Amino acid sequence: MEEQQENIVEDVKNSAAEEPTQQAVEANDQPQQAEETTQPVATQEPQKVTAPAEDFDWDVYEKGDIQVTNRAELTKQYDTTLNTIKEKEVVEGTVIAMNKREVVVNIGFKSDGIISLNEFRYNPDLKIGDKVEVYIENQEDKKGQLILSHKQARTSRSWDRVNAALENDETIKGYVKCRTKGGMIVDVFGIEAFLPGSQIDVRPIRDYDVFVGKTMEFKVVKINHEFKNVVVSHKALIEAELEQQKKEIISKLEKGQVLEGTVKNITNYGVFIDLGGVDGLIHITDLSWGRVSHPDEVVKLDQKLNVVIIDFDNEKKRIALGLKQLTPHPWDALDADLKVGDKVKGKVVVVADYGAFVEILPGVEGLIHVSEMSWSQHLRSAQDFLKVGDEVEAVILTLDRDERKMSLGIKQLKQDPWVNIEEKYAVGSKHTARVRNFTNFGVFVEIEEGVDGLIHISDLSWTRKIKHPSEFTQIGANMDVVVLEIDKDNRRLSLGHKQLEENPWDVFETIFKVDSIHEGTIIELLDKGAVVALPYGVEGFATPKHLIKEDGTAAKLDEKLPFKVIEFNKDAKRIIVSHSRIHEDEQRAAAPAAEKKESSPKRGRKSAGDESGSSAPTAPVYEKTTLGDIQQLADLKDQLSEEEHTQAVKAAEAHAKRVAKKAAASENSEEEKAAE
C-alpha cells in the first residue's frame, strides 16, 4: 500500500513537472511564430496552470494517511485527463493550428499530431476548429511524436461514405487531379473516381485542362464494387437546377414564336440551340430550303441566331426549332412565266438508281427519272448518265406549283430516233451494231442510243449449227447487220447477220446431190448419231446404222471416211449422209455381175447347138441386146453429171474464197478498232 501511494505521488510530481509554465509557453511560442523549424508545430494557446489545493496536506499524503476515498477520486481524475486510443484506428480530431505545409490536429491525447497539408488539398476551405478524421499510425515515434494520417482515415472510411452518398443522393466535394481518356480523374474521399466528359457540364466541353486542379461539387452516379470503380457527375447538379428553369421556359413557349439562341452543339443530323436554360433542336432539313450535306455548312459553334418554334413536347421537354422558316420559300419566288416545255439549267445535287435531282434555284429542285435520260428502252442506273455536281440543261415535263414538284427530262433535247426510222434504217440497209445482251433465241444489239434490234439465232450463220449465241460472238463486240423488218409500234428492229452473204445452199444443192460421195470427218458423237464435217464448211448428220464400216465396226470420233449423201433438204439446211451405204451398194452391184458371169457359158452352148442343126425356129434376141444402148445412155448421163458436179464444185470454191476474204477483212477491221 505504501509503495502504491509513493508511485501515485511520483506520477503527480512528474505530471506537474511536465506542465510548462506560462513563461516557458510564451518563450516557446515566439520562435515558432518567427520561423518554421524542421519539425514545425503551430502556436497553441498557453495552458492554464492550476495551483494545488490550499487544504491539501502533502505530508499526510506522503505518510500514506490520506483517506482511501480521496485517493480513489484522485486516480479517477487522473485517468480521465487523457483519452484512451489504439493504433490502427480512425478517430475524430480538431484542427488547432495550420501553416503552409502542415496541419496540427488534437485528438485529446498527451501530444498533438502533425499532418501534411497535401492530404487536405481536396478541401481548400479547411480552417482552425474544423473536425477531421485521422488514422492513428503510431502513438509515439522515436522522437515521442504522435503519428497521424488524414489520407488513411479517408481511405478507410471512403467506401462507406461513397456508398452513403449514392444512397442518400448526397452532394460531395472532389479534387480534379488530371485528365484521362474520355474524362477526368477526381479525388473523392481519397478514392480516384471517374468523371466522364459528358458529365462535366450541360454544355459540350472543348478544353478539359481548365478543370484540372479545381475542387468541385459532384454527385455519385455509379459504383462498381467488384472493380472498385466510382463514377461521379457534376452535370447532374446543374441539371437539377436547370430543370425548374426548363419548366418555366417551356410553359411560356408558343408555336411560331421567334427566339434568340446560341449554337451549342452540331451533329450530323442537326443543331442544338441553347435558348437560355433549355435546349432545342434544328433538324438538318429545317436549316435551309436547299440541300445541306452537313449542318456546319450553315451554322458555326457559339453563333447567335434567331429561330422559330415549330413544335414542343411538355412531357419530354423537347423543342423542335426551324431556321429556314424565317425566310420565304424559294418556290414562291419562282418565275411565274416558267411553263412545261421550257428549258432550264441546274446542278445535280442527288443521284439515285431511279433518277437524279437537279437544283434549279436554292430550294427548287426537279427530278430527272432514268427513263427520261435516254431514248433507249432498256433502263439502266441514273449513275451511268449523271453524277453529283454536273451542270445540266433539261426540259420541264411537269410543273406543280401547289405541290412544289417538277419533273425534267434530258432526252427531249435530242430528236426521237424512231420518228424517221424508215428513212434512216430502211429494210435491207446494212449497219454496224454493238452486242448488248444474249438470250437462248438470239442476240440483242444496239445500233445507236434508243435503237435496238434482235438477231435471231437462225440468222447468225448459213452453215454453222449454233446452240447459243455466245458461241458466235460476245457482249460488247461489234457486228455487221442488215435490217430485215421494222416494228415501229414496239420500237424494235428485226436484224440478220448471215444475210450479208449469199446463200451457199443454192450452190451446195448442186454439190451435195443425193448419192454423191464426199470425204468427211466425224466431229461429234451423239446418242442419235454423229455430226460429220463435210467440205466447204458444211455439216452433215449420220445415224448410228450408217456409221458401220465394212469390217463391221462403228466409226469413231475424228475419223475421216467417205460418206454418201442420202438426203439433201435445202429449206431445212439438212444433209443426211451414210458411210455404210457405200460398201452396201458395192456389194449389191457385185451380186448381179457374178450371176451374169455364171449364166454366160450356158447361153453360148445353147447357141452353138442351135447353129449345129436344130430345126426349131430361132428365138428372138434377149432384151439384153439393149444393154449397150442403156450403157451408152448411162455413160452420157454420168458425163453430164460430172460436168455439173465440176461446175458446182468450182462455184462452191469461188464462194468459199469470197467468204474467207470477207471474214479476213472483218477480222482486220475489228483488230484495228480494238487497237484504237
Which pLDDT score is estimated for 613?
A: 40
> Which DSSP category does 618 fall into?
P
C-alpha cell of residue 289: 430550303
- Per-residue pLDDT band at 674 (split at 50, 70, 90): very low
Cell 452453215 locates to 463
Quick one: how far is CA 276 from the chain centroid? 40
Question: If we measure between CA atoms, which residue out of 432, 425, 438 comes closest to residue 493?
Answer: 425
Q: Which tens digit of pLDDT belongs to each residue from 302-338?
A: 888 989 888 877 666 688 898 888 888 778 777 778 8
Mean local confidence (pLDDT), 584-596: 76
* CATH fold of 501-592+635-676: OB fold (Dihydrolipoamide Acetyltransferase, E2P) (2.40.50)
Confidence at residue 377, expressed as pLDDT on a 0 to 100 scale: 65
Whether residue 226 is predicted with pLDDT greater than 70 in this model: the reply is yes
Is the per-residue pLDDT at 657 higher than 50? yes
Q: Which three cell numbers stand for residue 33?
A: 511564430
- Distance between CA atoms of 392 and 416, rounded to whole angstroms? 19
Q: Which CATH number is 330-413 given?
A: 2.40.50.140
Rounded (5°) CA angle 382-383-384? 90
Supply the pLDDT for residue 49: 55
Least Cα distance to 145 among 35, 41, 13, 46 occurs for 41
Residue 53 binned pLDDT confidence (cut-offs 50, 70, 90) = low
Task: Round to whole Å and give the CA distance between 539 and 518.
Answer: 12
- Dihedral over Cα of 406, 411, 413, 415: its sign: negative
pLDDT at position 593 is 65
Least Cα distance to 281 among 301, 303, 299, 264 occurs for 264
- Pull the grid cell for residue 141: 515515434
Residue 654 has a pLDDT of 55
Q: List beta partners, residue 394.
A: 344
Nearest-angstrom CA–CA distance, 209 and 200: 12
- Asked whether the predicted pLDDT for residue 621 surpasses 80, the reply is no
What are the two backbone dihedrals, phi and then psi, of residue 635, each rounded to the nearest 5 degrees?
A: -65, -40
Q: Which residues pair with residue 308 across a beta bridge? A: 258, 322
Average pLDDT, the chain: 75
Q: Which residues does 94 contact at the CB level (< 8 Å), separation at least 6?
A: 105, 106, 107, 129, 130, 131, 132
Q: What are phi and psi of 406, to 5 degrees?
A: -150, 135
Whole-angstrom CA distances from 638 to 305, 610, 634 are: 110, 39, 6
Residue in 366, 276, 285, 267 with CA at minimum distance from that of residue 325: 285
Cα separation of 397 and 391, whole Å?
A: 18
- Given the candidates 2.60.40.420, 2.60.130.10, 2.170.150.70, 2.40.50.140, the CATH classification of the domain at 421-499 is 2.40.50.140
Residue 642 pLDDT: 53
pLDDT at 518 over 60: yes
Neighbours of 317 (CB within 10 A): 14
pLDDT score at 23? 37
517: number of Cβ within 10 Å: 15
Looking only at Cα atoms, what is the longest distance across the chain?
216
| 604 — pLDDT class (breaks 50, 70, 90) | very low
Give the mean model confidence (pLDDT) for residues 84-111.
82
Three cell numbers at 191?
A: 478514392
Selection from 461, 468, 371, 472 nearest residue 412 by Cα: 371
Q: Residue 569 pLDDT more than 60? A: yes
Orientation angle between helical segments 68-80 and 2-18, nearest 10 degrees: 40
What is the reported pLDDT for 639?
Answer: 52
Q: Which part of the chain is CATH 2.40.50.140?
A: 253-326, 330-413, 421-499, 501-592+635-676
Cross-sheet strand order for the sheet of 113-116: 113-116, 102-106, 90-98, 131-138, 147-149
- Helix ranges (H only) for 540-626 are 580-611
Maximum average pLDDT range among 45-59, 239-253, 419-433: 419-433
Q: In whole angstroms, how far apart are CA 555 and each of 375, 520, 550?
A: 56, 12, 10
Assess contact for 542 and 577: CB atoms under 8 A.
Answer: yes
CA distance 348 to 359: 6
Pairwise CA distance, residues 518 & 153, whole Å: 117
Confidence of residue 625 (pLDDT cuts 50, 70, 90): very low
Torsion region of 238: left, alpha or beta (phi above 0 gives left; psi -120 to 50 gives alpha): alpha
Question: Which is higher by pLDDT, 41 or 220?
Answer: 220
3-state secondary structure (DSSP) of residue 463: coil
Residues 6 or more apart in contact with residue 426 via CB below 8 angstroms = 483
**Domain covering 253-326, topology:** OB fold (Dihydrolipoamide Acetyltransferase, E2P) (2.40.50)
Instruction: Give the cell for residue 389.
Output: 455536281
d(CA 115, CA 103): 5
Question: 281 near 320, Cβ under 8 Å?
Answer: yes
**Within its chain, how far is the Cα of 235 from the centroid?**
36
Q: What is the mean pLDDT of residues 426-446?
A: 86
Q: Is 135 helix (H, G, I), strand (E, B) or coil?
A: strand
When pLDDT is averaged across residues 164-174 and rounded to a whole number, the result is 85
Cβ(323)–Cβ(286) below 8 Å = yes
Examine the pLDDT at 628 and tell me if it is beyond 80. Answer: no
Query: How many alpha carbons lie under 13 Å from residue 549 in its C-beta half-sphere?
Result: 9
CB burial of residue 70 (10 Å; 0-12, 13-18, 19+): exposed
Going by the DSSP 8-state scheme, the letter that residue 285 receives in this structure is G
Q: Report the Cα–Cα distance between both ends of the chain, in Å, rounded.
A: 132
150 vs 86, higher pLDDT:
150
What is the SS3 assignment for 146? Answer: strand
